[in-house]
C-alpha cells in the first residue's frame, strides 16, 4: 500500500506497487510524456522503477538539470549503440556526461574519421526516431563479467571486475544492444531529440599515458533544437574571442615555427605587457617588496643542489658552452633569489625580506601542451620570494593574499577559486617537514579567511601551495596566482639568518606569483574582454582623426597635447573618408575615437565616439584629456562616457 508524496506535498495512495511512469500518467498525460526519470526519496531512478513502499517522488523532466544530464547520458548510450551497429568489432569502454555534453571512448582497430562521425550521427538519428524502449536489468557480477567477455567486450568486463562488492550491477538495453551502466536512463530513445557529434580525439584508457589510446567521440545533447542551436552559437562567439586570433587582428604578438612556444611581442602587445609590469611594480613597492634580478643561465651544479635537475629536469633547457660547462636556463627564479639572500649575514631583524622579480623563465613543455599565450615555453613571472621565520608564515600569508585579491579586483576578477595542493609523489624533504609545511599553510589559509578545495598530490616538489584560479567572462578557469610554503630549498642551498639568541637558523621561504605568467595573464585578459581592453590597459587609448587635410595641423597638435599628458594616443591623417577610419579603429577596439573637423578645430574641441558606437558629442580638448586621465587612473571605475 505505498503512499507517494509529491513535491507539492500532495499524496497519492496505491493498493499495490506502482511504477514511476504510472504515477506520472496518473498526474497527467503531459507529464507522462515529459517524464525522463524519477527521484524516489532523493534517489534518481528510471521511470520503470517500481515503488513498493511509502516514498517521496519527483518526476524528472528536461526542465531539471538532472533531466538534462540523463538526456546526455542516454545520448552517449545512443552513440555507443550506433557505433556497435556500424562497427561491431569496436569495443565500448566508458561514456560519461561532461559539461555541455558527453563522450564515449571506444577501442577500435583504426581511428574513426570525420566521415565515420557523419555515419554514426545519421545512425543515431535513425535509432532515436525508432523510439526503442530502454530497459534495465540486474545481474550477478560473475555472470555480468562472463556476459561481456562473451561479447568480446574486455574493457567492460574489466570495469565490472573493479566495481566494489555489494554494489548492484545493472545493464541497460535498447533494441539489439546492451551496456553496463548505473543509470538512470530515458524511457525510450525517442526522448533524444537534439544532439550533435562534435569531434574525435585520442584518450588514454583510464587516463594513464602508459595505457592504450582509445578513440574518444565527443558529442553534445540538449532538450530541444533551440538550446542546441544556442550552444553552437555560443561556441562560435567563444571562437571570436580567441586570444590567438585577436592577437593577430590587433597586431599584438605572433608565434613562428622557429620558436615554438615563445612569443614575438609587437609594439602594441609589448605596451600592454609593460603596462602590467608598471602596475605590478607600483603595487609591490607599496607592499614592501624589493625588486631584484638574477641570471637567466647558471651552472647546472646549482640546479643539482636545489633538486631542480632531478625533480624538474625533463622540463629544463640545458646548454653546453665552449668552455665545456653545462648551464641550465632557469625554469624558476627561486634559487637566484636564495643566492641573493645568502650574500652577507642576515639577521632575524631583516625578516620578512621580500624579493620580487619579473623573471623570464624557460620550461621545455611537451609539444602537445602548447597553446597560444596560455601555455608557452618561455614566459615572464611576476615572481616573489619572501624570507621569514616559521612563526611569521600566517601573518605574511594573510598580507600576501590580501594584496593578491586586491589586484585581481582591479582587473575585474571577483570570482577566484582557490586550490590547496599538497605533497606530490616527486618531492624533496622528509615527511616530517611536509607535515609542518602543510599544517602551516592550512592554518595561514584559515587565518586569511579563504575557502579552498584540496588538490591531492599537486604541490610543488619543494612545498605545498595555494593556487588561485580566475574565471573569465565565459566561465573558463585559468590558474594564475600561487602561494607556496617552502621548508626545503633555503636549507638545501645553505641560506641562514641569525636569530635573537645569536643562533644560526634556516629561513622559511614563501614563493608567490599573482599574474602567474604575464603571457598567460594577457591571454586571459584578451579573452575575458573579447579584445576590448579597458582604457587603462589598451595599447592605444584613443585615435585622433581628421576629416580633410585642412585639419591635419590641428590633429597633430591635439595628439601631441594628449600624448604629453601620458596618454597613449595616435593620429590617423590618411586621405580616407571618416567612415572608413572609424570602421578601422572600431574593429581595432580603440576605446575612443576623437574626430576633428572644421567645427572642432574652430572651437578647440573633439567629437568623441566610443568603440561601441556611442556618440558623446563635441567636448573641449582639455576636458577630454582630464576625463581620459581620470578613467586611466581609476582603472575604469570612472568612465569618460558617464
Partner RNA sequence: GCCGGCUUAGCACAGUUGGUAGUGCGCCUGAUUUGUAAUCAGGGGGUCGGGGGUUCGAGUCCCUCAGCCGGCACCA
Nearer to RNA, 43 or 583 (CB): 583
- Is 511 catalytic? The answer is yes
Annotated active-site residue in 191, 243, 330, 363: 363
Residues 6+ apart with CB under 8 A from 199: 217, 218
Annotated active-site residue in 383, 422, 472, 486: 383
Residues 342 and 324: their CA atoms lie apart, in Å, by: 27
Annotated active-site residue in 241, 427, 465, 589: 465
- Is 54 catalytic? The answer is no
Give the nearest distance from C-beta 68 to RNA in angstroms: 20
| Cis peptide upstream of residue 414 (ω within 30 degrees of 0) | no
Annotated active-site residue in 381, 392, 541, 551: 381
Nearer to RNA, 6 or 618 (CB): 618
Contact 365, 378 (CB under 8 A): no
Give the nearest distance from C-beta 460 to RNA in angstroms: 6
Give the nearest distance from C-beta 615 to RNA in angstroms: 6
Give the nearest distance from C-beta 320 to RNA in angstroms: 20
**How many Cβ atoms are within 10 Å of 462's Cβ, its own excluded?**
30
Give the nearest distance from C-beta 138 to RNA in angstroms: 30
Q: How far are the Cα atoms of 210, 420, 513 from residue 407, in angstroms, in the given order? A: 41, 20, 12
Within 302-396, strands assigned E span 317-320, 326-329, 353-362, 378-388
Contact 122, 234 (CB under 8 A): no
Nearer to RNA, 140 or 202 (CB): 202
Nearer to RNA, 188 or 604 (CB): 604
- Is 385 catalytic? The answer is yes
Annotated active-site residue in 385, 423, 585, 609: 385
Residues 453 and 441: their CA atoms lie apart, in Å, by: 13
- Is 381 catalytic? The answer is yes
Give the nearest distance from C-beta 271 to RNA in angstroms: 20
Annotated active-site residue in 174, 179, 185, 334: 334
Nearer to RNA, 85 or 107 (CB): 107
Residues 608 and 553: their CA atoms lie apart, in Å, by: 18
- Is 422 catalytic? The answer is no
- Is 334 catalytic? The answer is yes
Cα angle value 94/96/97 (rounded, 5°)? 165
If phi > 0 it is left, if psi is from -120 to 50 it is alpha, else beta; for residue 613 that is left
Pairing label, strands 170-174, 134-138? antiparallel
Residues 6+ apart with CB under 8 A from 554: 546, 596, 600, 601
Nearer to RNA, 22 or 196 (CB): 196
* Cell 635537475 sits on residue: 309
**How many Cβ atoms are within 10 Å of 137's Cβ, its own excluded?**
10
- Residues serving a catalytic function are 334, 363, 381, 383, 385, 465, 511
Amino acid at each position: 500500500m505505498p503512499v507517494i508524496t509529491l513535491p507539492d506535498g500532495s499524496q497519492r495512495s496505491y493498493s499495490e506497487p506502482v511504477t514511476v511512469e504510472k504515477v506520472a500518467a496518473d498526474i497527467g498525460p503531459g507529464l507522462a510524456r515529459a517524464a525522463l526519470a524519477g527521484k524516489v526519496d532523493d534517489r534518481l531512478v528510471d521511470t520503470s522503477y517500481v515503488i513498493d513502499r511509502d516514498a517521496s517522488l519527483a518526476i524528472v523532466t528536461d526542465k531539471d538539470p538532472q533531466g538534462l544530464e540523463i538526456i546526455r547520458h542516454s545520448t552517449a548510450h545512443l552513440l555507443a549503440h550506433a557505433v556497435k551497429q556500424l562497427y561491431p568489432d569496436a569495443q565500448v569502454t566508458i561514456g560519461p556526461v561532461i559539461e555541455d555534453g558527453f563522450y564515449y571512448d571506444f577501442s577500435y582497430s583504426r581511428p574513426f574519421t570525420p566521415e565515420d562521425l557523419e555515419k554514426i550521427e545519421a545512425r543515431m538519428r535513425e535509432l532515436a526516431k525508432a523510439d526503442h524502449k530502454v530497459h534495465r536489468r540486474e545481474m550477478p557480477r560473475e555472470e555480468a563479467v562472463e556476459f561481456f567477455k562473451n561479447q568480446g567486450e574486455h574493457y567492460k568486463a574489466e570495469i565490472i571486475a573493479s566495481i566494489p562488492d555489494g554494489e548492484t550491477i545493472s545493464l541497460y538495453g535498447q533494441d539489439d544492444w546492451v551496456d553496463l551502466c548505473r543509470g538512470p536512463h530515458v524511457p525510450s530513445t525517442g526522448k533524444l531529440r537534439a544532439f550533435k557529434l562534435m569531434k574525435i580525439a585520442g584518450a588514454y584508457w583510464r587516463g594513464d599515458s602508459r595505457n592504450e589510446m582509445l578513440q574518444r567521440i565527443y558529442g553534445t545533447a540538449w532538450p530541444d533544437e533551440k538550446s542546441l542551436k544556442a550552444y553552437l552559437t555560443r561556441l562560435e562567439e567563444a571562437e571570436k574571442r580567441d586570444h590567438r586570433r585577436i592577437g593577430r587582428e590587433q597586431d599584438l604578438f605572433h608565434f613562428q615555427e622557429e620558436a615554438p612556444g615563445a612569443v614575438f611581442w609587437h609594439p602594441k602587445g609589448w605596451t600592454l605587457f609593460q603596462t602590467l609590469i608598471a602596475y605590478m611594480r607600483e603595487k609591490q613597492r607599496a607592499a614592501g617588496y624589493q625588486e631584484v634580478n638574477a641570471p637567466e643561465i647558471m651552472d647546472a651544479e646549482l640546479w643539482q643542489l636545489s633538486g631542480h635537475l632531478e625533480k624538474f629536469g625533463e622540463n629544463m633547457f640545458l646548454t653546453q658552452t665552449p668552455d665545456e660547462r653545462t648551464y641550465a636556463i632557469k625554469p624558476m627564479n627561486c634559487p637566484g633569489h636564495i643566492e641573493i639572500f645568502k650574500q652577507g649575514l642576515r639577521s632575524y631583524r631583516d625578516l620578512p625580506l621580500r624579493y620580487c622579480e619579473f623573471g623570464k623563465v624557460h620550461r621545455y613543455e611537451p609539444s602537445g601542451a602548447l597553446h597560444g599565450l596560455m601555455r608557452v615555453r618561455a614566459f615572464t613571472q611576476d615572481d616573489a620570494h619572501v624570507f621569514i621565520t616559521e612563526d611569521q608564515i600566517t601573518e605574511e600569508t594573510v598580507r600576501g593574499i590580501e594584496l593578491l585579491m586586491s589586484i585581481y579586483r582591479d582587473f575585474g576578477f571577483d570570482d577566484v577559486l582557490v586550490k590547496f595542493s599538497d605533497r606530490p609523489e616527486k618531492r624533496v624533504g622528509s615527511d616530517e617537514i611536509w607535515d609542518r609545511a602543510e599544517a602551516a599553510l592550512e592554518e595561514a589559509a584559515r587565518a586569511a579567511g579563504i575557502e579552498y578545495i584540496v588538490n591531492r598530490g599537486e604541490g610543488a616538489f619543494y612545498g605545498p601551495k595555494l593556487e588561485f584560479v580566475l574565471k573569465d567572462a565565459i566561465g573558463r578557469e585559468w590558474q594564475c596566482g600561487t602561494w607556496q610554503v617552502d621548508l626545503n630549498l633555503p636549507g638545501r642551498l645553505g641560506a641562514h639568518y641569525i636569530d635573537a639568541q645569536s643562533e644560526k637558523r634556516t629561513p622559511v621561504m614563501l614563493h608567490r606569483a599573482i599574474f602567474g605568467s604575464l603571457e598567460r595573464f594577457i591571454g586571459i585578459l584578451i579573452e575575458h574582454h573579447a579584445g576590448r581592453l579597458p582604457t587603462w590597459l589598451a595599447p592605444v587609448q584613443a585615435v585622433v582623426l581628421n576629416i580633410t587635410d585642412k585639419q591635419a595641423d590641428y590633429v597633430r597638435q591635439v595628439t601631441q597635447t594628449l600624448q604629453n599628458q601620458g596618454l597613449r594616443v595616435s593620429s590617423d591623417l590618411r586621405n580616407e573618408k571618416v567612415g572608413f577610419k572609424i570602421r578601422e579603429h572600431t574593429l581595432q577596439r580603440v576605446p575612443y575615437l576623437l574626430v576633428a573637423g572644421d567645427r572642432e578645430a574652430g572651437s578647440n574641441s573633439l567629437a568623441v565616439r566610443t568603440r561601441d558606437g556611442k556618440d558623446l558629442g563635441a567636448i573641449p580638448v582639455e576636458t577630454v584629456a582630464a576625463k581620459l586621465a581620470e578613467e586611466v587612473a581609476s582603472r575604469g571605475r570612472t568612465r569618460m562616457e558617464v
